[in-house]
Structure 1
Amino acid sequence: MKIMNNNKKDNIMKYKKVLVVAATVGVFFSAGLGIKSMAEGFWNGHSHVQAINNDIDTLSDRIHAKTDIINQLNADLSIARTNVQDNTAQLSKLTGRLIQVNQEKTLITNNNNALNNQLKGKDNELQAKEQEIQAKIQEIQDKIQEGNNKVAAKQNELNSANQTIETLKAQVLDLQTKLSISDAALNDVKQAHQKADQVVQETATSEQTPQISNSSQNQAWEAKVYEAQARVSYNGKNYLAKWYASTQDIPGNGGPWEEYQEIN
């Protein structure tokens, strides 16, 4: 629309130029007394053309404004159509969902009716079970009474046994007193034995010296299994396996490996 309006303006300007040129030629080629009247007529026509141009410009501006309004209305209409389509689609989905919910409601109602029928049947079974339970309760109460009578009899036997136990406790207490005297003497012997063992151990530790060997065939230690009496070198030192050594047993960390010195 803007391009068409610009073309109209260009045509109008060209028309104006043609009129001006035509008027100028008429002025130069006119003669006699008619020159003045022709000039006045020319200027009067020019005024009319100027007014027409002004009206055309005003109309063009109005057309532009109307065009902008129409474009905005078209855009709003497009948005409204899109919203209507979206609402229609959403309404269709909701309608489908409503149908599904009604179907589920019908199914739930049917299931509920079936459950109510089952519940009635279970109530009848429950009443029968309650009667059976009451009979069992009465039977159990009779058994309890019978058991209480037996318990009373056993209690009498227990009282007699308790008297016997009290007599035995007195005898045990007497024996414990005698045993305490023996335990005190035994503890003295144990303490003397522990002191002797400690002295022997300290003496053996102070006199212990590394083993010495003249073997020069030791291989570098590897993380593998070694049999007893195996000899290896590790970190510049020689070690002897006192017993079986696993891959986790590292020389120098204690365990089966014992350091020794080579004799050259």
Structure 2
Amino acid sequence: MNFKKILIVAATVGMFSSAGVGIKTMAEDLWSGHSHLQAINNDIDTLASRIKEKKSIITQLNSDLNAARTSIQSNATQLSKLTDQLVHINQEKNLLTNNNNALNNQLVDKDNELQARAQEIKEIQDKIKEGNDKVASKQAELDATNQTISTLNAKVSELQSKLSTNDAALNEVKQAHQKADQAVQETATSGQTPQNSNSTQNQAWEAKVYNANERVSYNGKNYSAKWYASAQDIPGKGGPWEEYQEIN
């Protein structure tokens, strides 16, 4: 390119060499233009180099842009997958939350039921304790009653023993009295004149103690005490009293 420019300048100079000073001046002007042309060419080369560099940069940028787009697409795909996973996880979370709420509600219901059962058990235990206290009180009362009965039975046994002893002694007295009466009757003589007595002289029976051979009248009849007679011994009921006839 520069070679062609030189040829053009040389031809131009040859054409005007005969023109004297004017041509010389023209040549000088052309040579000055050549300098400018050379500077322009240098600038063009510099610009070309810069454009080439910029193109390289643009190419790299396009490559980076494509890589970025690919990365963006990959990230978008991954983001879409992660979004789907997030939606799925949120759904699972909501499901677990609902299940957890349901379980919490069941737990509350069971806790309320347990508290109600515990209250029922406490009431039953209180009733059982109240019943046991009443049973213990009745048992203590029964034990005291049994103790009283046992004491009374012991006294009854003691009194029965004493009564048996008294009955035995009384029987012995009766037997001795009967023997004495029999001996008196056996020793009595038939020629002995009996004593006359009047029924009006016999005292009326009263509920009191009588000694042997005392005589009383009771219900129009005369009775004689064969032995000791107590206030409970009523004439005509057997025992120590014996009916007799008055001899006028």
Into which bin does the TM-score normalised by the smaller protein fall? 0.3 to 0.5
Per the normalisation by structure 1, the TM-score is 0.37
